[in-house]
Amino acid sequence: MARISRYKAGAEKLRWNAFEVLSLDGVSSGILRFYTAQDGADWLRAVSANIRELTLQNMKMANKCCSPSDQVVHMGWVNEKLQGADSSQTFRPKFLALKGPSFYVFSTPPVSTFDWVRAERTYHLCEVLFKVHKFWLAEDCWLQANLYLGLQDFDFEDQRPYCFSVVAGHGKSHVFNVELGSELAVWEKSFQRATFMEVQRTGNIHVQLARRGAVFHGGFRDGIYLF
Per-residue pLDDT of the chain (227 residues; tens, 9 = 90+): 888 888 776 666 777 788 889 888 878 888 888 888 788 888 888 999 999 999 999 999 989 988 999 999 999 999 999 876 555 568 899 999 999 999 999 999 998 888 999 999 999 998 899 999 865 454 444 434 333 333 344 444 446 778 999 998 777 889 999 988 889 999 999 999 999 999 888 776 555 565 666 666 666 566 655 55
- What is the C-alpha to C-alpha distance for residues 95 and 76, in angstroms, rounded to an integer? 6
172: left (phi over 0), alpha (psi -120 to 50) or beta: beta
Query: Does the residue 24 lie in any domain?
Result: no
Burial call 70-81: b when 16+ CB within 10 Å, e when fewer: ebbbbbbbbbbb
pLDDT at site 159: 63
pLDDT at site 153: 41
pLDDT at site 185: 92
Query: Does the residue 161 lie in any domain?
Result: yes
pLDDT at site 79: 92
Q: Which domain holds residue 166?
A: 62-226
SS3 category, 36: coil
Q: How far is CA 68 from the centre of its chain?
A: 23
Tell me which DSSP letter residue 145 carries. Answer: I
Query: Does the residue 34 lie in any domain?
Result: no
pLDDT at site 96: 97
Number of domains in the chain: 1
The model carries a pTM of 0.79
Query: Does the residue 38 lie in any domain?
Result: no
Query: Does the residue 25 lie in any domain?
Result: no
Query: Does the residue 37 lie in any domain?
Result: no
| CATH number assigned to the domain comprising residue 106 | 2.30.29.30
Query: Does the residue 210 lie in any domain?
Result: yes
Query: Does the residue 117 lie in any domain?
Result: yes
